[in-house]
Structure 1
Amino acid sequence: MHGMGRPLKRLARNLTAILCALGCLVSLAACGSDKEAGKIRVGIKFDQPGLGFKKAGTYVGFDVDVATYIADKLGYSADDIVWKEAPSKQREAMLQNGDVDMILASYSITDERKRAVSFAGPYIVAGQDLLVRKEDHHIRGPEDLNGKRLCSVTGSTSAVTVKKKFAKEVQLMEQPGYAECATALFSGIVDAVTTDDIILAGLASASRGRLRLVGKPFTQEYYGVGIKKGNTQLAHKINAALADMEANGSWQRALENNTRGTHYKPDPRFNPPKPTEGE
């Protein structure tokens, strides 16, 4: 038995060395191929003018400006940000899987979502509103939609809210995105588009004056910064950045720059909001 001891020890040492070497190779391969090392990955919308919009290889909008400000306070320059598209249905999974570090994508804070992810913020309180053609003054609020044709995005709760609370006789057209709804509104196929006011303000701004926001929000949507469940340390840092952004006027400037020409003003009863999530 004693004669067998030394060979077994040598074999164990050799195996340990091989495993260590393999571990180093794997970690080196991972680091070498990971172009996102040292970066911060941020999920945004790519198709919402005024909020998150991909334009000729650049990213613009209020969500983009807020995310850039937060990243700077966390120690990342604009060049350190990797922007990732965050479709509504994929947001929770992207955070849970670690595909992104945070999401700013018109992401309303709800109790249901908080079971899967955590939030920092809110950074703005939007409200459901209506977008109409510039010359149409018959629609002054959701109660004027009876008998009218309304467009919203497939699966959106916005149209359901209008039908449930205000206009039982509304005719609903569903489209895959709000750009398609805006096109239907341009061409007279529908009479109004409904979703959160800041999204509609972005569409109005992109329309170059052909569409206008009614300006009578009838819900409150608290937009938060989505982060991985339970990361309170990151939530605290993000909240500090948001409070700083609001205090020094950067928040107001970002809002005005991204909704220029629309006369959009978020409801002053709720804005700018105090960041309280994750505290």
Structure 2
Amino acid sequence: DLAGRRLGVEWGSEGDAQARKLQKKIEGLTLRPYMAPEEALQALKDGQVDAALVDAVSALQFIGREGGVKLVGHPLTDELYVIAVRSKSHALLKAINEALAEMKEDGALARLRERWF
């Protein structure tokens, strides 16, 4: 229950947007914005906030590196991460797509997920 609690968020992120929606529904929920998800998670670990709402990738990396916090509940969204290239960078886009397809096919992506997340 987040009523009357302090919630750390990455300012301007999807987590921030979701937290603002929660704040309208939960009495006494105070948002504490941070410039990066790692800062929100460190604030949680240090007891400066009661919870942090950040993306799963950042949370899992922080937990693997620092420990001291754990994931609870279920994801609020299923936002996808992307690689962006300039619209005229056709060769780069093709190379990235081919590399990702190869990594998926040979299991490298699965190994990276297992190792880092």
- Normalising by the smaller structure, the TM-score range is 0.7 to 0.9
1:162 aligns with 2:23: no
**Does 2:28 correspond to 1:195?**
no
Task: Report if the CA contact (8 A) 1:150-1:190 is conserved.
Answer: yes
1:150 aligns with 2:7: yes
- Unpaired runs of 5+ residues, structure 1, are 1-143, 260-279
One-letter code aligned to 1:199: S
Which protein is richer in helix relative to its size? 2
TM-score, normalised on structure 1? 0.38
Aligned to 1:72: none
By how many angstroms is 1:233 displaced? 3.2
- AA aligned opposite 1:201: L
More strand by share: 1
Q: Does 1:245 align with 2:91?
A: no
Query: Structure 1: how far apart are the matches of 2:14 and 2:83?
Result: 20
CA RMSD of aligned residues (A): 1.9
1-side partners of 2:115 and 2:52: how far apart?
23
Letter in 2 for 1:200: A
Q: Find the counterpart in structure 2 of residue 22 from structure 1.
A: none
Q: CA deviation at 1:185?
A: 0.9
* Identity between Structure 1 and Structure 2 (%): 31
Q: What's the CA shift string for 1:208-258, capped at 9, x where partnerless?
A: 3x1112251121222222211232332222112111101111001111111
Structure-1 separation of matches of 2:92 and 2:55: 27
Whether 2:31 is the aligned partner of 1:172: answer yes
The CA distance in 1 between the partners of 2:112 and 2:38, in whole Å, is: 22
SS in 1 for 2:43: helix
Q: Secondary structure at the match of 2:49?
A: coil
- Superposition pairs of residues 99-248 of structure 1, within 5 angstroms: 144-164=1-21, 166-168=22-24, 169=26, 170-208=29-67, 210-214=68-72, 216-248=74-106
- The TM-score with structure 2 as length reference comes to 0.82
Within 5 Å, give how 1:77-96 maps onto structure 2.
Answer: none
- The answer to whether the 8 A contact 1:147-1:171 is kept is yes
Residues in 2 aligned to 1:186 and 1:234: alpha-carbon distance in whole angstroms: 40
Instruction: Report the AA paired with residue 255 of structure 1.
Output: R
Partner amino acid, structure 1, of 2:85? I
Question: Could you tell me how far 1:161 is from its partner in structure 2?
Answer: 1.4
